[in-house]
Structures are given as structure tokens and as C-alpha cells.
Amino acid sequence: PTAEDRAPAQVRERHAELSAELDDHSYRYYMGKPVISDAEYDTLMRELEGIEERHPSLVTRDSPTQKVGAPISVDFAPIEHLERMQSLDNAFSAEEFEAWVQRVESEAPIDAYLCELKIDGLAVDLVYENGRLVRAATRGDGRVGEDITLNLRTIEDIPVDLDQSARAAPELLEVRGEVFLPGEAFEELNARLADEGKTPFANPRNGAAGSLRQKDPRITATRPLSMLVHGVGAHTGVEFTHQSHVYGLLREWGLPVSDRYRVLTTRQEVADYIDYYTEHRHEPPYEIDGVVIKVDDVSLQRRLGSTSRAPRWAIAYKYPPEEVTTRLADIRVNV
Ligand code: NAD
């Protein structure tokens, strides 16, 4: 029998159905118009992962479990990223998080974790050549994104020219981060849209996606978008030893780095960081959907490597959804 024969027809049908559904939701989500909540999406994804764990023959390269994002729309020119943009693996409980820690610590001598907030925004990629912003793109499917250079240039947080007063910028630097609408800015924008008789956005994330993916950058310029950076892709003319070293240099060059990240050395400290933001989830002036824990040492990051979808050296600890029903109702009336 072929590998496919091992999964019963009923299971294969459910697998195909879930895959199609997830692809469809993914596309809508990246267009800024989801029709289900993130928690519902995550539940469907977990079901698919469960099926694939029991029937590995069903894992194909284009399964939603193996892919990043969604194909890009035809509204923007395609841009191939210099280095692939990935997603993150998730932990939904303390047990899942502990299992991840044990796995990485069994493979590499980890001495510090960098803990930071998982901003619920839009992943973007900025390319700087000799200190000048030359291109900006959405994540797209991780390999090819949408050219949003003109739109990105309207965001005040993002320097067009890096600050080179303390240190020269490298020849090439690909910077990754999150574009978002801070809470207050979101409320103001929605009030303005309502005044103008336009449909308000269901939540800050959709507002950020809708504002960034405008065909006319003059509209994006009127939207109070912010950005925080949290990583690098391709680079030449600079070497990084630690994730925290990356952030130090990005900050020196004038890029917006969060001041809420911490480099922590014990599991207890990491657990305390996760707990703190579980309790103080609304303290940051933007929406977060969890925290991200990264191995700080870049050589250990390399040793741990990545899957087709996500690095093995980082994990998103996702917080449980709040008021799912209210948010769902919001989403349904607003799309
Ligand atoms: P993700 O949102 O779970 O995590 C990966 C992304 O987190 C990265 O690409 C990065 O841009 C971002 N991020 C934010 N802060 C970060 C930080 N400090 N460090 C590193 N990265 C950080 O994964 P995803 O692939 O973007 O999207 C999948 C998730 O999106 C799902 O789990 C679901 O919650 C949601 N989703 C919802 C729907 C829907 O219909 N509601 C559809 C598709 C996806």
C-alpha cells in the first residue's frame, strides 16, 4: 500500500477540508478581514496538526501546518525577501512551554533567554543599504511579500536614513518588525472614520493591515501607525553575537526597539516575565497576544536551526483569548 492508503478516507477528507478552510481564513486574515477569531483559527490548526501527527503521510509541503502567511494579492508588486521570513511556533500552556525549554536545553547549552512582547500587528521587512531605506515589504508567504515601500515611508517611527553618528551602518541590513496601531490611535481613527460615514475597523490589527495596505500612500500617511523592530534577516558588514546585541545596535541606528524586552537567565525569571504580562496584558499601549521567548546567543540559534515554518530557537507563549464572544460579534458586524 502507498503511504496515503494508511490514512482512512474519512481522515483524509477531514484533512482536506481543514486545509482548505485554514487557507481561506489565512488569506482573509492577511487582507485585514478575518471572519473567525484567532482562537478559533488556532483550534482548527491544532486539529490539523493532530491529524498529521497521527498520519504523517498527510504532511505535504503546502499543508497549512508547513506554510507561512498567505499568497500575496495582485494590488502590490511582489518583492522577494533576501532571507526567508518565518512564523513562530506556539505554546498554549505552561506544560507546552516547559516541553519547548527541555527540548532546546537538551540540544544546546542555553545560558540566557531574551523575553519580549508578542505584538499583534503586521510583520514587515525593511531593507537598508548603507544606512538608507531602499525597500519595504509585507511578509506575504515568507518568500515573497508585497512592495509597500511608499506606505512604510509615511510611518514616523521608521527612519529613512539610519543614525550613523555613533556607528556606521552596515552595507546591507534587512530588519524585521511589527507595524501596529496603538490603542489610543485606533480609537481616534475609528471615531474619525465613523464621522466620515466610513466603516470602522473591528480591532487594531485589522486597522493596521487596512491602513498599511492602501494603494494610495497618502491615505496611509493619515493613519497613526507605529512600528517596533524585533529581528534581522540578511546582513553584510556587521556580525551579531546575541539577539540583545542586535537590539542594541538597531536602537543605536535609530530604529524603534521596545524597552520591554529582558534578557533572563533562569527558568523562574522567564516564568515570572510570562506571568507578569499575563496579568498586565493591557499595560503596553498596544495589543499583545502573548510573549516571545528567544535563545539570546546567535551561535546557539544557528545550532538549533529552524523548520520550514519557524525557528526552533524561539517560541510564542500565547495568552488565552479574552471575551471571545464579544470580539467575534465585533468581527462579524464589521467585515
Ligand atoms: P503568529 O502571529 O503566531 O506569530 C508569528 C509572528 O509574530 C511573526 O511573523 C512576527 O511578525 C510576529 N511577532 C510579533 N511580535 C514579535 C516578536 N517580539 N518577536 C518575533 N516575532 C514577533 O503567526 P502568524 O504566522 O503571523 O499567524 C498565525 C496566527 O495568526 C494564528 O495563530 C492566528 O492567531 C492568526 N490567524 C488568524 C486568522 C483568523 O482568521 N482569525 C487567520 C490566520 C491567522
Planar angle of CA 117, 129, 170, nearest 5 degrees: 75
87 Cα: distance to centroid of ligand 1 (angstroms): 7
What are the pLDDT digits (tens) for 107-135? 999 999 999 999 999 999 999 999 999 99
Task: Look at ligand 1, atom 10, and give the residue with the nearest C-alpha.
Answer: 123
Q: Known catalytic residues?
A: 118
How far apart are the CA of 118 and the centre of ligand 1, in A?
Answer: 8
Is the entire prediction scored with pTM above 0.95? no
Q: Is 47 annotated as a binding residue?
A: no
pLDDT at 323: 58
Q: Is 41 annotated as a binding residue?
A: yes
Give the pLDDT score at 329.
45
Q: Whose CA is nearest to atom 41 of ligand 1?
A: 38
Q: Strands 288-295 and 113-119: what pairing?
A: antiparallel
Strands (E), 94-253: 113-119, 122-129, 132-138, 144-146, 172-180, 226-236
pLDDT at site 74: 87
Q: What are the backbone dihedrals phi and psi of residue 124, each rounded to the nearest 5 degrees, phi first? A: -135, 165
Question: Given this model, what pLDDT does residue 334 score?
Answer: 36
Total residue count of the chain as it appears in this document: 335
Q: Which ipTM value was assigned to this complex?
A: 0.96
**What are the start-end ranges of the H helices in 55-182?**
94-107, 149-152
Regions in the chain scoring below 50 on pLDDT:
1, 4, 324-335
Task: Report pLDDT for 2.
Answer: 56
What's the confidence (pLDDT) of residue 33?
A: 85
Q: Which residues are 147's β-sheet partners?
A: 137
- Domains, in order of start, for the chain: 3-58 (1.10.287.610), 78-334 (3.30.470.30)
Predicted local confidence at residue 332, as pLDDT? 42
Given this model, what pLDDT does residue 70 score? 87
Pocket of ligand 1 (CB under 6 A): 25-26, 28-29, 34, 36-38, 41-42, 68, 87-88, 90, 116, 118-119, 123, 139, 178, 230-231, 292, 316
